[in-house]
């Protein structure tokens, strides 16, 4: 059937007798650097996260936090474009806003980071490797004042801006194809030309190496005088907006989530971890194909033909999606962090709220989740208050029964025993039972199952997908 998932508030669920999972609405989550400090443990509800911006989805880090009622409000904002700006500025804003915080900025020089990327590209993209070597002394990109406009037309409307730059639409006159073009921020006074160039081009080097149906295509980078412009594939729809619409069927949710898992499998097979997976960083094309964006936080965790894991350090990402080990200053394997984030995305799509604000013991909902399960069978008097539900079942009992085992393994607080993304992908329920739409090597749509994809445009109206060329799997 194609009946949408019930969107009644969580307070009406069986968990209503215990403190709620979280009173934080499923809003665009701000990065940790912009979030208020976590509240101490309390039996009172946590303060809600900032609601979606009424203007657009691209100034998430600038949204003031203001309280709302304890009941979960799930309303579509007046304007909501897709989250492509996350690819454009989100991670760079984190770096710009916190240059002196060693906890959130790993202590390594830009040149050291670029050497690591060079080592990665040596095997995966020889052309990028050659380009990286050239960039140490010269600029390998087009330095033509009219080059951008000659290739991609004139600037259209601004779809977002932030500390890392601004993103505009550009429509190519020759074929009327639309692109999202990011103009990077200006060079800071304390940066040398070489440092600035490496910071700006590192994200392009990673993005241009990745080619997968569920990953956004990074197409070009052009330098005009002192300005850098990155050209990207444009997807006009937003997974977050689709979830907010409450129109997604259960089968459609499964399809979208499996597409995300497919992309993460590809990234990990390349030795890359995204480190900032969330609904905000997933956009959708006109055929319902989900694509991951924003590789500003991506890091190499394993080099080709090597077995050693390269540890990451620093708090990177958004609070509700973070894994516990990523909330400290200690080094950690970034691959299990992506697995945890995928599980949180699933919970958000099913429940339409965050399980907790941040995975720390100072968060009461998370503290209950990691608490030992109470196995006592002591009868509770009718007149007394029902006991608080502790342990993983506090969350898992709200999810579809068939998903509980694998989600519990993805939310293992020990990263060493947490399942890998390959194990998740090969889990029988996911591998055999979940339908997933995709693209064949020629770019033709392969539909799977009987579901239709909900597409929410910037004006908040639902639009039907356009299947010009497709075939059934």
126 found inside a domain: yes
| Same domain as 215, residue 182 | yes
379 found inside a domain: no
182 carries a ligand binding annotation: yes
CA distance 109 to 116: 11
SS3 of residue 298 by DSSP: coil
Predicted confidence (pLDDT) per residue in 47-105, tens digit? 333 333 333 433 333 333 333 333 333 333 333 333 333 333 333 344 444 433 434 44
| Same domain as 403, residue 257 | yes
Domain harbouring 297, CATH code: 1.10.510.10
447 found inside a domain: no
Which has the closest alpha carbon to 185: 250, 113, 92? 92
pLDDT value of residue 130: 44
Print burial letters for 364-379: b (CB count within 10 Å at least 16), e (below 16): bbbebbeeeeeeeeee
Predicted confidence (pLDDT) per residue in 36-48, tens digit? 344 333 333 333 3
| Same domain as 410, residue 300 | yes
Q: Catalytic: which of 276, 280, 285, 338?
A: 276
pLDDT value of residue 90: 37
pLDDT value of residue 380: 61
377 flagged as catalytic: no
Q: Splitting the chain (473 residues) into consecutive groups of 10 residues, what average pLDDT does each group show?
A: 42 43 60 41 36 38 37 36 36 40 43 56 54 38 62 85 78 91 89 87 89 95 88 92 93 97 97 95 94 89 92 92 92 97 98 96 96 72 76 96 98 97 98 95 90 78 52 53
Q: What are the contacts of 36-39 at 24+ separation with CB within 8 A?
A: 36/65, 38/357, 38/358, 38/360, 38/362, 38/363, 39/362, 39/363
The secondary structure of 416-451, three-state, reads CCCCCHHHHHCCHHHHHHCCCCEECCCCCEEECCCC
Count other Cβ atoms within 10 Å, centred on residue 140: 17
| Same domain as 418, residue 332 | yes
pLDDT value of residue 385: 76
% residues pLDDT > 90 (the chain): 44
| Same domain as 324, residue 225 | no
| Same domain as 204, residue 90 | yes
Q: Give the range of the structural domain holding residue 38, as residue numbers without chain letter.
A: 14-62+249-374+387-433
Total number of domains in the chain: 2
This prediction has a pTM of 0.73
CA–CA distances in Å: residue 62 to residues 59, 97, 186, 275: 5, 12, 19, 22
């Amino acid at each position: 059937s194609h009946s949408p998932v019930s969107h009644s508030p969580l307070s009406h669920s069986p968990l209503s007798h215990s403190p709620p999972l979280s009173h934080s609405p499923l809003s665009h989550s701000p990065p940790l650097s912009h979030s208020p400090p976590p509240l101490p443990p309390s039996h009172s509800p946590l303060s809600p996260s900032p609601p979606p911006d009424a203007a657009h989805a691209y100034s998430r880090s600038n949204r003031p936090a203001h309280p709302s009622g304890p009941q979960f409000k799930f309303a579509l904002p007046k304007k909501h474009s897709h989250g492509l700006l996350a690819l454009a500025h989100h991670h760079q804003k984190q770096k710009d806003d916190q240059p002196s915080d060693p906890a959130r900025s790993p202590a390594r020089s830009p040149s050291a980071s670029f050497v690591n990327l060079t080592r990665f590209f040596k095997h995966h993209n020889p052309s990028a490797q050659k380009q990286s070597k050239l960039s140490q002394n010269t600029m390998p990109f087009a330095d033509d004042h009219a080059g951008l406009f000659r290739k991609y037309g004139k600037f259209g409307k601004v779809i977002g801006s932030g500390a890392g730059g601004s993103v505009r639409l550009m429509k190519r006159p020759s074929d009327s194809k639309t692109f999202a073009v990011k103009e990077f921020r200006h060079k800071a006074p304390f940066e040398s030309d070489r440092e600035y160039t490496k910071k700006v081009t590192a994200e392009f080097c990673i993005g241009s190496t990745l080619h997968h149906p569920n990953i956004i295509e990074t197409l070009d980078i052009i330098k005009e005088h002192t300005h850098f412009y990155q050209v990207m594939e444009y997807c006009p729809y937003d997974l977050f907006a689709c979830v907010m619409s409450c129109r997604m069927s259960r089968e459609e949710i499964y399809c979208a989530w499996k597409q995300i898992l497919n992309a993460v499998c590809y990234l990990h097979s390349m030795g890359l971890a995204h480190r900032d997976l969330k609904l905000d960083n997933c956009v959708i094309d006109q055929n319902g194909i989900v694509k991951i964006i924003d590789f500003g936080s991506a890091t190499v965790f394993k080099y080709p033909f090597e077995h050693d894991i390269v540890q990451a350090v620093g708090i990177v990402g958004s609070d509700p999606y973070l894994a516990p080990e990523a909330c400290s200053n200690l080094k950690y394997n970034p691959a299990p962090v992506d697995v945890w984030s995928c599980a949180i995305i699933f919970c958000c799509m099913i429940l339409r709220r965050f399980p907790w604000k941040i995975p720390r013991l100072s968060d009461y909902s998370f503290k209950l989740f990691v608490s030992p399960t109470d196995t006592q069978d002591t009868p509770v008097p009718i007149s007394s208050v029902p006991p608080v539900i502790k342990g993983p079942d506090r969350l898992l009992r709200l999810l579809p029964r068939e998903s509980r085992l694998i989600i519990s393994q993805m939310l293992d607080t020990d990263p060493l025993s947490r399942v890998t993304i390959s194990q998740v992908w090969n889990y029988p329920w996911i591998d055999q039972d979940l339908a997933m739409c995709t693209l064949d090597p020629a770019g033709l749509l392969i539909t799977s199952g009987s579901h239709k994809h909900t597409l929410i445009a910037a004006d908040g109206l639902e639009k039907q997908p356009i299947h010009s060329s497709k075939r059934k799997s």
